[in-house]
Amino acid sequence: MHNSPNSTVILGAQWGDEGKGKLVDVLSEKADLVVRYHGGNNAGHTIVRDGEVFKMHLLPAGLIWNKRSVIGAGVVIDPKVLLEEIKTIEGKGVKVKGNLGIDPRAHIIMPWHPLFDAAREMKKGDKKIGTTGRGIGPAYEDKCARDGIRFEDLINPQILEAKIANLYPLKQEILEKVFLVKTLAPEKQILEDYIAYGKALSLYTTDVSEAVDEAIKADKVVVFEGAHGVLLDIGFGTYPFVTSSHALSAGVGIGVGVGPQALGKVEGVVKAYTTRVGNGPFPTELPLETVKEDMEYNLNHLKERSLHKNDDSFLGEFLRRQGFEFGTTTGRPRRTGWLDLVIIRTGNRLNYYTGLHITKLDVLGGLETIKLCTHYKIDTRKVDYIPALTEEFNQVEPQYITLNGFENLSFEQWKDVVEEGKLKGFHALPKHAYDYIKMIEKYLDIPVLSVSVGPDRSAIIWKQ
């Protein structure tokens, strides 16, 4: 048996953007191996260390600690983006050579994939899914159709040339005749570019399945880095408004090539409210009304309107701006709403969380009251899970409890709370902030392990 109590899977427990990168960064300090197992550069982790910002899209967060960090077979890789990211973090003093590994079975995003992505979204009009346009979905489609180009092909010029020669005419014909797109680069140029990418990346070739298996057998500390929220999983997410990979803890086995006993702890990351990028259902969403004045005026003005006029549209915009809710990868503004415990509870059934990490609690500071969705109502039924039928999910009415808000602390005041938390744990939090965390634990029956009250990696209060 290879059961590994030293391995931890970090998952986003909502629709992404929960702050997973920060938790992976913190856990990576003591890790021996950090593993990215699914998704592509449609994901993004923002890590802040000592005021310096790292935006990671493909590279595992463990690299910042100079830890062995690998990209599994379940990831789709845009080699140009990957090389640019490597260059960027090397410029900040991060050692990549000798630490990064890429599985030869990982699939490669080709220049036609983003074109298909954009063309299909345009064809769908107001029914578009809201993809990032990075070509992720079409790359996974080619993988399942057995038409994909893998990393092992990218680093072999002869095989790469033969595969591009076979695929290019077909992709060009479909783009031009079906989607009326004529912007695909010449075949020769693509081949030259991708041979160069393969040459630059070939030194990172690693059998990630074997590397992870060896680490687990040696009782080393392994962190599996999730790239999306579980509600974006291709199978159990809010289909069709989902990503194209397996975002659940079970996706580790598929994306890495290890059995389920390789998983030890499974920890979900939960934003203290809910956000979502792109289209799809969002029961607790607050309506938004954009105000065009400068940011500081907006925050004060929006809070004033929200608190004293009970105007949810201004409250939604306040959360967006106070939490700086704009996508790491796309820059798109995120939709905002109250924390929805139903989706966390459903995610727990899909992943069996051993604990939760709450992020961005400080963003809620200063609100007079805070709502918490505990159940849904469907007609006369009260449910505490996401219905399997999409039509039913689209009809749910969120049921809230209302809690007292807590004070809006300054950056320095939160630092003092974090310092006090080293001795008192969650009891260092303002009283009503503490009550909010305890209420989350009560309704979910899952222990909260940590609470984040700022973007920096040090702004975390641990339960113990």
Three-state SS at 77:
strand
Predicted confidence at residue 311, as pLDDT, reads 62
Query: Does the annotation count 379 as an active-site position?
Result: no
Is 37 within 8 Å of 72 (Cβ atoms)?
A: yes
| 240 upstream amide cis, omega within 30 of 0 | yes
Rounded to two decimals, the pTM is 0.91
By DSSP bridging, strand 339-340 and strand 369-378 are parallel
Please name each of the domains of the chain with its CATH number: 7-105+204-269 (3.40.440.10), 107-202 (1.10.300.10), 274-462 (3.90.170.10)
Q: Is 17 a catalytic residue?
A: yes
Helix axes 112-124, 136-144, angle to 10 degrees: 110
Q: Count CB-CB contacts under 10 A for residue 400.
A: 15
Whether the CB-CB separation of 103 and 209 falls below 8 Å is answered with: yes
> Can you tell me which residue has the tokens 């969705």?
373
Block mean pLDDT (10 aa), the chain, length 464: 78 94 91 96 77 86 93 98 96 95 98 93 71 88 97 98 98 94 95 98 98 96 94 96 95 96 95 93 84 49 50 78 76 88 98 98 94 96 96 96 95 96 97 98 98 92 92
Q: Which residues are 383's β-sheet partners? A: 376
SS3 category, 233: coil
Q: Which pLDDT score, from 0 to 100, does residue 130 have?
A: 61
3-class SS string, 242-310: CCCCCCCCCHHHHHHHCCHHHCCEEEEEEECCEEECCCCCCCCECCCCCCCCCHHHHHHHHHHHHHHHC
Alpha helices by DSSP H, listed for 125-222, are 136-144, 151-154, 157-177, 187-201, 208-217
Q: Which one of the listed residues 25, 38, 45, 362 is annotated catalytic?
A: 45
* Alpha-helix residue ranges (DSSP H) falling in 276-409: 295-309, 312-322, 341-351, 390-393
